[in-house]
Chains A and B, each alone.
Chain A
Amino acid sequence: MGIFLGAFSYPLHIYHSSALFLMNLVPNRIAYQSLFKIIFYLMRQNLLKDYLIYLESQMQEPDLSIEISGFKMGNPLMLASGILGTTIASLRKVFEAGAGAVVTKSIGYEPRAGYENPTLVEVHGGYLNAIGLSNPGIREFYNELLESKIDDLPLIVSLFGSKKSEFRYMTSLLDKLNIKAYELNLSCPHVMGFGNEVGQDPKAVRRIIESVKEETKKPVFVKLSPNVKDIVEIAKVAENSGADALTVINTIRAMSIDIETFRPILANKIGGLSGPAIKPIAVRCVYEVSKEVKIPVIGCGGIMNWQDVIEFFLAGARAVQIGTAIAYEGLSIFEKIKKGIRDYLIIKGKKSVRDIVGLSHDF
């Protein structure tokens, strides 16, 4: 039944949505407050029923769904790679908590134990991690996928590797399965020979993307690093090599030292910074990249709330990924953000999230 329906006491969110709707119609705060008081009173007396039914029929739920190169998502919030993405069971849990899509932890050709602990340490404004691309290897991962039910899961597999033959093998093995897209991690900031070394080299980027595209018809996203001279240059190379979308950005090389023992805290000494501290950098990267390429950009880095998501959209992102915020907020963050975006779109009179993509480019 309609959201405005019901007798004497309406659920709270109804007052909330009508308030948001009104804010959009009246000129100033005082007018809005008096108007809202009257309406609130009438609602309590149940006198506005017919009008509310009419209003609701006029007021559309904003559309949160998006599409990236043929891959449809119910909402634009994705789980970022490496966060809770080790098993299908935990990815499913994140999906059920409200994510529009989930990205696995980056999988490589061989099993990797990753670095010694400490692999993670909190700093002001975020976390440093040097997990070190730990993963069970493509064959074990493939076997687990085979045993799992994934048909209804908007599952994106993140892959890393050091050469194109590895990427080729991994894609061809996985392609028979019902995964929805790939994300190539060409940007891990702290593992030699993988990630960033590959992602900095335009020729390597081209070779890898082209070879993956030869093995699959599914969308291929490419995850970029901010730890490069010019992210726009690499973004263009990725686009020209056939990437269907770009994920911007991965973590930023950083370090933390313990002053009591004089030692770097991470066993690997250097790690990748994530969390709110990197958001302005990520927004800048999304802005610069999305201005220069035609393929969709997926924003990532430091998103903590719905306002951050809107900022990424305005900067030019068509979807976003959320990682570190889960350490602060837990999985309830997905529903909170969805609600925030919805209310924002109502206030701004926008029918769809798609309508605010890149609006900051106009200025």
Chain B
Amino acid sequence: MAFPMIFNKPRIVKVLKVIDESPTVRSLIFKDDLCSKAKPGQFIMVWIPGVGEIPMSVSMMKDGLAGLTVRKVGEASNALFNMKVNSMIGIRGPYGNSFNPIIGKVMIVGAGTGLAPLMPLLDILTDKSASIDMIVGGKTVEEFIFMNKIKEILSKTESKIVVTTEDGSYGIKGLVTDAILPILKEKRFDMIYTCGPELMMKKVFDMAQEFNIPIQASLERVMKCGIGICGSCCIGKYNVCKDGPVFDFQMLKEVKDEFGLFKRDHSGKRVMF
């Protein structure tokens, strides 16, 4: 071929498998070499032809296959949720940086589809870490995804799982962040990984600061180009699509005037959390 390959253009793939994770969340499995080699925390831009293109974390990578896990919230995610086996979607990426797995005692805090990028991380961490404390939160029991998989993965290593729901329908009644505090007081961690609603991550970050524990948090902002030129995903001086989505302690400190306070909508206007 005379021309170099074009990377930032949708590659059309067929959906090979659809998995119901909860009444509102499904995983789609497809074949793609690049995505099957994605690092935990990286995301792809998923084109739903005729509807839109949205960022999704790669939630599974294995033997040439990759998966995404989508919650239906609006038009594009609903269309993606309703994809059937053999439906065609376009994907470009994987984009962004990734979680940096460490050797040591780690805590993982996830909620909702925030678990999507944490699953491949969990896979890697079970081989590496001394211990894993996994805290999963949600509003109600129906929202929980991946619980069996998490239990299965964690059974291979020294670990502890804590589950919280706001209505008490599953695990401890309360917020994830309430469950973390006693654990942090009791045990010394080398790293906290978190992904979920930004207000939750903000609280986790505040606690990490208080106990002086390194943290990696995966952020979300509106994405258009995905490659760091349009600026729609900016937080402070960073572009979430390129410098993130995973922010470490230092970066989170640098964006403290925005993190957990406001994001920008598609026009670039600030919207408070």
Q: Hey, which bits of chain A sit against chain B, CB under 8 A?
A: 82-87, 89-90, 92-93, 105, 111-114, 116-124, 127, 129, 131, 134-137, 140, 144, 256, 258, 260-261, 263, 265, 267, 323-324, 326-327, 330
Q: Is the CB of B8 within 8 A of A127?
A: yes
Cα A83 to Cα B227 with chains together (Å): 11
Secondary structure of the A side of the interface? loop
Interface segment among B109-117, B156-164, B211-219, B261-269: the answer is B261-269
Chain B residues with CB under 8 Å of A324's CB are: 229
Known: A136-B268, A327-B229. A123 touches B237 (CB 8 A): no
Cα A144 to Cα B270 with chains together (Å): 10
Interface segment among B49-57, B124-132, B193-201: the answer is B49-57
Q: Which residue on A lies nearest to B233, using beta carbons?
A: A86
Cα A86 to Cα B230 with chains together (Å): 8
Chain A residues with CB under 8 Å of B52's CB are: 116-118, 267
Min distance, Cβ B223 to any Cβ of chain A, angstroms: 8
Cα A119 to Cα B49 with chains together (Å): 13
Chain A residues with CB under 8 Å of B53's CB are: 116-119, 267
Chain A residues with CB under 8 Å of B231's CB are: 83-87, 90, 105
Secondary structure of the B side of the interface? loop
Q: Is the CB of A137 within 8 A of B229?
A: no
The answer to whether B90 has its CB under 8 Å from any CB of chain A is: yes
Q: Which residue on B lies nearest to A124, using beta carbons?
A: B3
Q: Is the CB of B12 within 8 A of A258?
A: yes
> Looking at A82, A83, A120, A265, which has the most chain B CB atoms within 10 Å of its CB?
A120
Q: For the side of the interface on B, what is the size category?
A: 35 or more
Task: Name the one of A93, A111, A134 contacting B232, with C-beta atoms under 8 angstroms.
Answer: A134
Task: Name the one of B6, B223, B237 contacting A90, with C-beta atoms under 8 angstroms.
Answer: B237
Contact bitstring B205-248, A, C-beta under 8 A = 1, else 0: 00000000000000000011111111110101101000000000
Contact bitstring B77-90, A, C-beta under 8 A = 1, else 0: 00000000000101
Known: A113-B266, A118-B53, A120-B230. A265 touches B10 (CB 8 A): yes
Min distance, Cβ B241 to any Cβ of chain A, angstroms: 11
Chain B residues with CB under 8 Å of A127's CB are: 8
Chain A residues with CB under 8 Å of B232's CB are: 86, 134
Q: Is the CB of A135 within 8 A of B267?
A: yes
Q: Is the CB of B236 within 8 A of A111?
A: no
Q: Is the CB of A118 within 8 A of B10?
A: yes
The answer to whether B47 has its CB under 8 Å from any CB of chain A is: yes
Task: Name the one of A105, A118, A134, A263 contacting B266, with C-beta atoms under 8 angstroms.
Answer: A134
Q: Is the CB of B49 within 8 A of A258?
A: yes
5 residue pairs, one from A and one from B, having the closest CB atoms: A117-B53, A122-B8, A86-B231, A113-B266, A260-B12
Q: Is the CB of B227 within 8 A of A140?
A: no
Chain A residues with CB under 8 Å of B267's CB are: 111-114, 134-137
Q: Which residue on B lies nearest to A327, using beta carbons?
A: B229
Q: Which residue on A lies nearest to B267, using beta carbons?
A: A111
Q: Is the CB of B3 within 8 A of A258?
A: no
Min distance, Cβ B257 to any Cβ of chain A, angstroms: 9
Cα A261 to Cα B49 with chains together (Å): 8
